[in-house]
Structure 1
Amino acid sequence: MSEDYTPSLQQFMQRVGFSSFRALSQAAQVSEKQVRQLRRGEIAQMRLETLFKLSQALQVSVTDLLITFSELSTQPSAPSPQPSAHLQELADLKQEYKRLQDSLVQQKQEIWQEFQQSSLQILESLLLQLPTAAYAAQQNTQAPAVKLLPLLKPFDRLLQEWGVEQIAPVGAEVPYDPQLHQLMEGSADVGDRVRIRYTGYRQGDRLLYRAKVSPVAH
């Protein structure tokens, strides 16, 4: 006869305020049949995804569930030259849980990076044109556009949080670097002074857009 783990499950439920097994199944988005499997100690037969949902609802780790609701928890330990089938199943479940966690973290990072890149592509014209327009407004404080400059601060803050930075501000004079700069006119050798006319951007070690520059007259 299989072990009844209902009291153990009820203890976990009481800690987070579940008054019934139905409430637990609804919160975890699993079936009541799967909850009954846990109560009967049939954890080795349950899908890892189900255990993960239950662990989130009960606010415990999957490892805690495996230890609490496995038959190993009720058996006295005894030396054995070979691991038992239950012990191997437990080890496999732990390994699969770790793999799932790593996969979820990686997927989250990839989705976030894809969101940033698609957003930056949509904002491309704004990224390239806005700093030049703001620079022109700053040069003429009587122009109506200067009143719009404070509205750009949230945009600048967003770029900062995403790790996107300007190669150099518009109007700055810098040594010419063909890796970072694109000549709009004339010619220049590496190291010659050029003026930034449209700023470029990079994100970490990745170049997003080269800055557009013009040679500085000697």
Structure 2
Amino acid sequence: ALLTFYPDDEISEEKGLIVFPSNAQLSLRARGMTPATLRRHLAVLVEAGLILRKDSPNGKRYARRDRAGAIGDAFGFSVAPLLARAVEIESLAAQAVADRELLRVTRERLTLCRRDISKLITAALDEEISGDWEGISAMFRALLARIPRVATAEDLAPLLDEMAMLRAEIVNMLERRIKTQKIDANESQIEHHKQNS
């Protein structure tokens, strides 16, 4: 909202680095933010070093203009720290976007893995395939219980690895069972090959 009061699209020394909106106007551009909340957020921005206060003698925000209308002295908030830290802020924003994308992909992979395990266990129980399916179900529920409600990609990565290992173990058990069934064919399926001597 503060930057909407800047006279140009790009912050530069030539245009000056001071914005001087009133609290009422700033509140309107901040979608009706209450004055107390507005003051609190401005204090946080100053404390974080993103803006600087340039106070007038009476504490108001305003600008003195010369006869030509150019701003001579301005009192309000300096956006000079934003200009100085632009590269740093841009890299932090890019990192935040990358982290958000990594979290989305990790959540997606975790959901697919959970769905696969659930379907495999259900199929094994429905087909009455021998194995410790109750123990595997208990391990699966324990893994599900460890998923935090609000998680980062770093929190989910080890859980995803453990679930992928569990899924691989279940798939191996089912494949071994299928191979065993193919080997144990009954006598009527085996025909002797006729040979001419």
Q: TM-score, normalised by structure 2?
A: 0.30
Instruction: Give the number of the structure with larger relative contact order, counting CA–CA contacts within 8 Å between residues 6 or more apart.
Output: 2
Query: Highest CA radius of gyration, 1 or 2?
Result: 2
